[in-house]
Amino acid sequence: MSDINELEKLSRAELAGLALDFFRRSALHYGMWFNEVQHQLGLEEALQTESEVFPKFFPAALERLSAVLGFGIKNGLPEALLKMPPDKLLNLIDAVSANWLAADGIWFQAVEARQEMFTAKRCNDTCWARFSPLEAYNIMSFLHLPEEGGLDALETALNYRLYSRINRQSAERQNGSLIFKMVNCRVQDARKRQGLEDYPCKSAGMVEYTSFARTIDSRIRTECIACPPDGHPDAWFCAWEFYIP
């Protein structure tokens, strides 16, 4: 058995690539834990368990990284982020949001290419059934929104979604309901520029918006006003009505 660590034979570029791959594997493993708890114990249990895991794991993980990379930590956050001006922090949030959407689209295209559209849409809808409640749960925690906070809480939470930084949206009250519209959609805008028809996202939207609203307040009901492949005016791509009966 050799006494030489195999990693010590790698070049600097190879070590840098391996470090990024270790990040990748770690992120996938974290997600696999969430997925398996959800599979065996249900989504609500997975959400509550993850909310206990993250505050125990992340500060220690950040400390280890800071010791190696040489960045300071203050109040549980990297000092470099705390020193950034607000416009740069918003740019960072925008970049993270765009990367999230890009990964979502590439996953969809990869499954579609290896299988077919139906399977890709089925995987997409299932992902939204899990991610949308997770996003709502995290937003509620971040903003300290009350449980059963009604349409006020929902309207606030919709402004903190990943989508809110890359799409243009609007919300208004009508006859006791909250009407939410996706005015500009990055995905649909790109298809429009390419001369393609709207992507038929209604099935995903029904899962996405219903589960998001229900997580904010279990009393909220969701109705689709229109979403592709439905026809819609040029002023928006999809519109949803939320109400409490």
CB of 133 closer than 8 Å to CB of 47: yes
* pTM: predicted TM-score of the whole model, two decimal places: 0.90
Please classify residue 139 by burial: count the beta carbons closer than 10 Å to its beta carbon, then call 0-12 exposed, 13-18 middle and 19+ buried.
Answer: buried
Amino acid at 40: Q
d(CA 197, CA 58): 43
Instruction: Give the model's pLDDT for residue 1.
Output: 52
Mean pLDDT by 10 residues, the chain (245 residues): 73 93 96 96 96 96 95 94 96 95 94 95 94 96 95 97 94 97 93 91 95 97 97 94 98
Partnered with residue 180 across adjacent β-strands are 171, 240
Residue ranges and CATH numbers for the domains of the chain are 17-83 (no CATH), 87-245 (3.30.1380)
Partnered with residue 30 across adjacent β-strands are none
